[in-house]
């Protein structure tokens, strides 16, 4: 398949490389001067999408996605698919999909879960929104770049699923870190706490698979000085998107609001920038009740 790939950063580059390794014909474009094995680099986004059957984008935010869409949609071949794997606001995802469909294209919003490691290993999870035909066109490529793709509904549903999932993730990580900090102050051994909680009603992904306490549970960023697997500023981005969506939908999300405020404080005022989102634990360790 002839594929254009726009946005070859930490996530996009390994995703594109996996597609090239699988035998697809890739032309890529990025604002930075990058090189990806098996990917021919174009001088512009418009050049990258010429004659492509599928165009994949992996971009930082909705504003940039809209600008790229304005540039590339007129240059795409009718019947081709625009597959956006960025994590952006639902309104931007739907607007770009509508623009693509109006131009005779298929459109899929398909944000991912799994991080840089999942992108490199080809084990991402895709949460996809769009028509059945659009999802079917992109599905073989999802199978190469990831281990699972869920068709969540019409345009915007993929972004909605990602945002709701990561709101749960942010809230749950804060609760897990608070609980460990409280256990410390109550004199409860961390390993004993893990042994109880991980097999009882406090079970969660943040406890059992990504424990924020070093030396407890499976290996996680906590065991590597909180070097990011998923950076705090990226969690903040997703939480902000969740609250933007909640405002748009008139949804009451008090825990989401609180988590957003805490990560804002952590990233912008307390040195959390560049640390894993589980580094909330040492933050809570240092604090008393206020």
* CA torsion through residues 150, 153, 159, 165, sign: negative
Query: What is d(CA 63, CA 93) in angstroms, rounded to the nearest whole number?
Result: 10
* CA torsion through residues 65, 258, 158, 111, sign: positive
Catalytic residues: 162
> What contacts 260, CB < 8 A, 6 or more positions away?
170, 236, 239, 240, 242, 243
User: What are the two backbone dihedrals, phi and then psi, of residue 147, each rounded to the nearest 5 degrees?
Assistant: -105, -15
Cβ atoms of 181 and 281 closer than 8 Å: yes
Could you tell me the CA-to-CA distances from 46 to 79, 99, 106 in Å, in that order?
Answer: 17, 16, 17
Could you tell me the CA-to-CA distances from 84 to 5, 66, 72, 87 in Å, in that order?
Answer: 10, 11, 12, 9
* CA torsion through residues 154, 159, 162, 163, sign: negative
Cβ atoms of 170 and 162 closer than 8 Å: no
Which of helix, strand or coil describes residue 69? helix
Which of helix, strand or coil describes residue 187? coil
DSSP 3-state helix, strand, coil percentages of the chain (rounded to 5)? 50, 15, 35
Residue 90 structure tokens = 């639902």
Residue 37 structure tokens = 């094995």
Taking residue 269's Cβ as centre, other Cβ atoms within 10 Å add up to 9
């Amino acid at each position: 398949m002839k594929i254009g790939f726009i946005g070859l950063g930490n996530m996009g580059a390994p995703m594109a490389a996996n597609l090239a390794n699988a035998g697809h014909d890739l032309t890529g474009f990025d604002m930075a001067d990058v090189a990806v094995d098996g990917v021919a680099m174009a001088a512009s986004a418009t050049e990258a999408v010429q004659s492509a059957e599928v165009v994949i984008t992996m971009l930082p935010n909705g504003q940039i996605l809209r600008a790229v869409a304005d540039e590339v949609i007129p240059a795409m071949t009718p019947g081709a698919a625009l597959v956006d794997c960025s994590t952006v606001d639902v309104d931007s995802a739907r607007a770009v999909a509508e623009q693509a469909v109006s131009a005779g294209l298929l459109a899929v919003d398909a944000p991912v879960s799994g991080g840089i490691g999942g992108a490199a290993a080809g084990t991402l999870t895709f949460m996809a929104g769009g028509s059945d035909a659009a999802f079917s066109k992109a599905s073989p490529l999802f199978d190469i770049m990831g281990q699972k793709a869920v068709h969540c509904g019409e345009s915007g549903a993929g972004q909605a699923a990602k945002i709701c999932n990561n709101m749960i993730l942010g809230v749950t990580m804060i609760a897990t870190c608070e609980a460990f900090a409280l256990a410390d102050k109550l004199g409860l051994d961390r390993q004993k706490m893990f042994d109880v909680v991980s097999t009882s009603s406090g079970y969660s992904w943040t406890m059992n698979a990504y424990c924020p306490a070093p030396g407890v549970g499976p290996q996680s960023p906590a065991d590597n000085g909180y070097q990011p697997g998923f950076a705090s500023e990226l969690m903040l981005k997703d939480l902000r998107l969740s609250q933007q969506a909640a405002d748009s939908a008139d949804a009451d999300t008090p825990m989401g609001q609180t988590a957003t405020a805490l990560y804002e404080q952590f990233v912008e005022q307390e040195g959390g920038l560049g640390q894993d989102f589980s580094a909330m634990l040492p933050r809570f360790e240092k604090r008393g009740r206020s």
